Amino acid sequence: MKQHVRLPQKNHLTTFSFIGLLLLTYFISNPIFGQTENENKATSITKERIIKGIVSDETDVLLGVNIVQEGTVNGTTTNEKGEFTFPKKLNVGDVLLFSYIGYETQKVVIKEDTSFITLKLTLDAVTMIGTLDAGKPYKSKRKD
């Protein structure tokens, strides 16, 4: 029984010392740790960042374009200048959906170097047609 109790304790000790060793290695080997802000910014380009951009169609900037992170409700809309600032920091590989009624929805995947998105939406190519079914009985046209 005693051995059963001791064994995990020993493991804890081993774990702690292992973490300690890791931390020590980190302090020694990571030159950025505890240094200036500038260098921190340099590394954050590959991590989370704020995305801004501007959306237009073939003639003008678009007000009210919805920009949503795919699979979430995180989102924003463009202002009267067509500009937006996405409210949440995004990572490489995150997908933004740009949607505006009547225009084709576009997806933009956040890449390593994405920080400002300039996007042109195109009007949906569909032809507008419609036929109503009023459910009224058919009536033949008769000559007389």
**One-letter amino acid for residue 93 of the chain:** G
Label residue 28 exposed, middle or buried (CB < 10 Å: 0-12, 13-18, 19+). Answer: exposed
Nearer to other proteins among residue 1 and residue 101 (C-beta): 101
The answer to whether residue 95 forms part of the interface with other proteins (CB under 8 A) is: no
Give the list of residues 6+ apart from residue 58 with CB closer than 8 angstroms, or none.
Answer: 120, 122, 123
8 near other proteins, judged by CB under 8 A: no
**Cα separation of 57 and 81, whole Å?**
12
Contact status: 63 vs other proteins (CB under 8 A): no
SS3 at position 36: coil
Is 101 an interacting residue with respect to other proteins (CB under 8 A)?
yes
Stretch that binds other proteins, among 13-21, 32-40, 61-69, 111-119 (CB under 8 A): 61-69
Q: Which of 62, 68, 110, 119 binds other proteins (CB under 8 A)?
A: 68
Tell me the β-bridge partners of 119: 55
Q: Rank residues 10 and 88 by Cβ distance to other proteins and give the closer one.
A: 88
Write out the residues near other proteins by the rule CB under 8 A.
64, 66, 68, 72-73, 75, 77, 97, 99, 101-102, 105, 123-124, 126-140, 142
